[in-house]
Amino acid sequence: MMKSAPPGRWLPLLAAPGVIFLLGSAAAVITALDIPTFIKQNGPGPGIPATRLRAATALPISQEPLQVDATDVVYTTFTGEAGNVVDTVLTSPAATAIIDQTTKHQIFRGNSTVLLKRPDLEASGEQWSYEYISKTDCTIVINKNARVVYYGLFK
């Protein structure tokens, strides 16, 4: 059971439905962070997976927008189809995640290495940022040691 915090020094931080962190002058590091998001569907259950953010550790920085500094980050986007079909996987040993809880706009950035894998593309490098608005509206920018392999056909 969590002890009550001093008034005015702690803010509740909503990361996903039912997930609340506390921010304060001595914010605790969260271990094994796992924040999934879902697309609503008719019927029982939470819905079809949309995104999932996992990290070995995360330090909450701000509430709105949600900002965490994380280690061993794995960010996955799904196609939105039944069966949990993966669209994109982004991995990095250290990153900052910024998530607008109203619009679901998600930004990830870091100075360490990044690896982004999609069925048609693989990109890696350092000093990067990744912006996810929707499955058809996302951008990665890599500023150092960029390497891109495109597996699709150029038309």
pLDDT for 47-86, tens place per residue? 888 889 999 999 999 888 889 999 999 999 998 877 789 9
**Does a structural domain hold residue 57?**
yes
**Does a structural domain hold residue 47?**
yes
**Does a structural domain hold residue 5?**
no
Counting the structural domains of the chain, the total is 1
Radius of gyration of the chain (CA): 17
With 0-12 CB in 10 A as exposed, 13-18 as middle and 19+ as buried, what is 54? middle
**Does a structural domain hold residue 23?**
no
Q: What's the domain range around 84?
A: 30-150
pLDDT, tens only, 82-111: 778 999 999 999 999 998 877 778 999 999
The length of the chain in residues reads 155
Q: What angle do CA 122, 77, 47 make, to 5 degrees?
A: 160
Q: With H, G, I as helix, E, B as strand and everything else as coil, classify residue 155.
A: coil
**Does a structural domain hold residue 8?**
no
pLDDT, tens only, 23-56: 544 568 889 999 888 887 776 777 888 889 999 9
Round to whole Å and give the CA distance between 52 and 64.
19
* 133 neighbors 140 (Cβ within 8 angstroms): no
**Does a structural domain hold residue 82?**
yes
**Does a structural domain hold residue 3?**
no
In CATH, what number is assigned to the domain containing residue 71?
2.60.450
**Does a structural domain hold residue 16?**
no
* Predicted pLDDT at 114: 98
